Structure 1
Amino acid sequence: TMQPSLQTLEQGKCERPGRQTCYVTACKKFRVVPASYFLQHMQNSTLVMMHRGLGPQGTKALAVPLVTNTSILRLNLRDNWMEGMGGAAIAEMLKGNCYITEVDLSNNNLEVYGAKAIAGMLKENSTLVRLILSGNHFTDRSTEHLCPALITNTKLQHLDLSYNALGESAGEHMGDALSENTGLRSLNLAWNCIRQKGAVMLANGLGENVFLRILDLSFNGFGKEGASALGQALKENNVLEELNISNNRIPPEGAIHLAMGLKVNKTIKSLNIGRNPILNAGCYGILKSVQDNPDSALETLDFSDITVSRDFDDLYTAVKEIFPALRVNHGGCFGTFSKAKA
């Protein structure tokens, strides 16, 4: 089946009284049963149609009336098995629709074909603010398309690419995009496979970024090199407020390098480095860097599941005197049975 172009979507343009007719006609064309839920809710500002098994054809039919819909501002089509073809129909629709600001296309098996179409859309669309693309089997080839689009697009503020298969090259592509992007405020790259050189390049891009406030890198493989590069990025970056690097196989040396960045950073409010093998030495080094930084903005330090020593506890008591609001979470102290949560 051919991909509907914006022109064919435009031909099915719905006149106000005939919006429903327009959708029903599209459903006949694509041989699918109309979704009664859509017919009932097409005038709402939020349309949530999750887990409805639309498939590629059902998604194409839905895209036709959405081109001219002026009511829907938030569109959630999570888990509809739309695949690349359905994803491309939604992307094509978003080139014509200038009302929708939030779209959730997670768990739709979009793969590289869908990623390419979304990238094309991002180069033209200027209304989308939030885009959720988690769980779509995106690989390094997908970011080859998406990342250049992120350099062009300045309106998108929140992007979620978690639970994909982004690897080393994807880290490099994202690094390039981050160094030049001027729109993103939050980026979620959790549960991917970004490691080694890719992790370092992504961190380098972060060092040059001047807009991003929230970055989630949890469940990747940043390790020692990635953490060291992030330490360097934190010396240069003066906007990032929340960083999650939990579950990244970071050793104590990596944490010490990261601490060097925290020693001079003035903006980070929340750091989650829990569930890493940084041991007490890593936790101590990070807390010490806060003590040595009079301009530290840190409010929350998360060392979940990492056991600390009495020395750490004593240091925390001292740091609390300078930063009374600082909250530290860890996996308890050696030699005590109670879980310590400050």
Structure 2
Amino acid sequence: MEEQKVPQERSSDEFDTDLEDMEPTNEKPSQSLADMYLKACGRTGAVEVKQLLRHQGPSLNLNHYGIGPLGAKALAISLLNDNTITSLELEDNSLKAEGANHVVEMLQSNTQISSLNLSKNDLRLEGAKVLYEMMLHNYCVKCIRLSGNRFDDACAKYFAEVLKGDYVIRELDLSLNNFSDAGGEHLGQMLAGNVGIEVLNLSWNNFSMEGAVALCVGLKANSTLKHLLLVSSGFSSYVAESLSQALKVNSTLVLLDLSYNLIDDQAVSLLCPGLAGNGTLKVLKLHHNTITAVGALTLLKAVKNNPKSALEDIDISTVVVCKAFMQVLKEVLERFPELVVQYTVLPHVSV
């Protein structure tokens, strides 16, 4: 797929961005966040959220309060010069792109917040443009959660462009969005060039074959990712060989979650050469796929034949195993006593 450059327009121009003009002046340095917030609500006309008035500690959790764009503006004003909050939770607040823009503008002045949750705020393409601007100049936010924001493939292009070569963001959650094959290709290119992300959640998207393969190609070139979550993301036997090739080369991945996909016994067979050559993967989740006892046995033999295996947890808890599996498991546990394998066994099957 030919790479398209992301337009360089500044989405913040589309919104009312006058936080500094409305910032309370001549305030005492010792004034509390609650006092600053009450004053900001008075200036903006926003309805105050009582939870914030009772808040204590470095993590401010305002999830599910229906804050909206105007409430986000009042909150942003009160946090402009705050030096106590390091984690800001704003999930499910109907912020939309306008509210997200107020938060992003606040982050230009506030350098204390390192974790930001904007999940389920209906951000869509306009919100993706706002976040593009934030990430372009970001040196502080290391964890950002953006699950369930109706981001599509056009949004993926923005994220991919700004995150190529990025070294600041360590954890990124883009689950429960509307990415498909084109989005997978953009994000795969991002993975190949990113040098910071350690935890990436792309679960509950629909990458299908081309997008999933592109992600595997990106994983093969990546050198920092430790946790990759791909729950219900369209992975099947068509993708297994590409994933196997990535696992042979990748030397940083510790957790791989492929639960609730379309992985069958054939896919397991294709995946096993990669597992047999991998020495870093510790947790592999494959529950709620279409694997049978045959695939489970194939998987276990691959672990047995890998003397450098680092696996500590294999979750195939929805697979009913056979007696041959139990026999091989005994041998595997003798070699790797720390390994935990989750499976289902019929009452008449015993070790």
> Which whole-Å deviations, capped at 9, do the CAs of 1:20-41 have from their partners, x for residues lacking one?
6764554355432233443453
2:258 aligned with 1:245, yes or no?
yes
Deviating runs (4+, > 4 A) in structure 1? Answer: 18-26
The aligned amino acid for 1:163 is L
Unaligned runs of 5+ in 2: 1-12
Are 1:77 and 2:90 counterparts? yes
Q: CA deviation at 1:138?
A: 1.5
> TM-score, normalised to structure 2's length?
0.89
Provide the rounded CA distance (Å) in 1 between the counterparts of 2:314 and 2:237: 19
Distance 2:158 2:294 in 1: 41
Q: Find 1:9's aligned residue among 19, 30, 36.
A: 19
Q: Does structure 1 retain, via aligned residues, the 8 Å contact 2:34–2:52? A: no
Q: Say which SS state the counterpart of residue 341 (structure 2) adopts.
A: strand
Aligned-partner residue type, residue 122 of structure 1: M
1:130 alignment counterpart: 143
Helix, strand or coil at the partner of 1:304 = strand
* Letter of the 1:9 counterpart: L
**Counterparts of 2:302 and 2:330 in 1: how far apart (Å)?**
15
Per-residue deviation, 1:11: 2.4
Distance in 2, matches of 1:103 and 1:92, equals: 14
1:182 aligned to 2:179?
no
Give how far 1:56 is off. Answer: 1.5
Matches within 5 A, 1:1-342: 3-5=15-17, 8-15=18-25, 16-17=27-28, 23-24=37-38, 26-41=40-55, 44-332=57-345, 336-337=346-347
Question: Matched residues, percent identical?
Answer: 35
Shift of 1:310: 1.3
CA contact (8 A) 1:189 1:218 kept: yes
Report the CA distance shift for 1:204/1:72 in structure 2 as closer, same or farther (over 3 A): same
For structure 1, the residue ranges without an aligned partner over 5 or more in a row are: none
Mapped to 1, the partners of 2:275 and 2:51 lie a distance apart of 51
Q: Aligned partners of 1:88, 1:339: CA distance in 2, in Å?
A: 59
Q: Structure 1 residue 12: deviation in Å?
A: 2.9
Does the Cα contact within 8 Å between 2:24 and 2:39 map onto a contact in 1? no
Alpha-carbon distance in 1 for matches of 2:35, 2:328: 69
Contact 2:62–2:90 (CA under 8 A) maintained in structure 1: yes
* Cα deviations by residue, 1:191-217 (Å, 9 ceiling, x for unpaired): 111221000000110111111111110
Check conservation: 1:14, 1:68, Cα contact below 8 A: no
**TM-superposition CA deviations, 1:66-106 (whole Å, max 9, x none):** 22211111111111111121112212222222110111111
Q: Measured at CA, do residues 120 and 339 of structure 1 come closer, stay the same or move farther in structure 2, by a change above 3 Å?
A: farther
d(CA) in 2 for partners of 1:36, 1:218:
36
**Residues 2 and 151 of structure 1: is their aligned pair in 2 closer, same or farther, counting only changes over 3 Å?**
closer
Indicate if the aligned counterparts of 1:45 and 1:71 stay in contact, CA closer than 8 A. Answer: yes
Q: Aligned equivalents of 2:48 and 2:321: distance in 1?
A: 59
Equivalenced residue count is 335
Partners of 2:341 and 2:267 lie apart in 1 by 19
> Which sits farther off after the overlay, 141-150 or 198-207?
141-150
Q: Give yes or no for contact 2:58–2:84 (8 Å, CA) kept in 1.
A: yes
Between the aligned partners of 1:61 and 1:329, the Cα distance in structure 2 is: 49
1:330/1:339 Cα in 2 relative to 1: closer, same or farther (>3 Å)?
farther
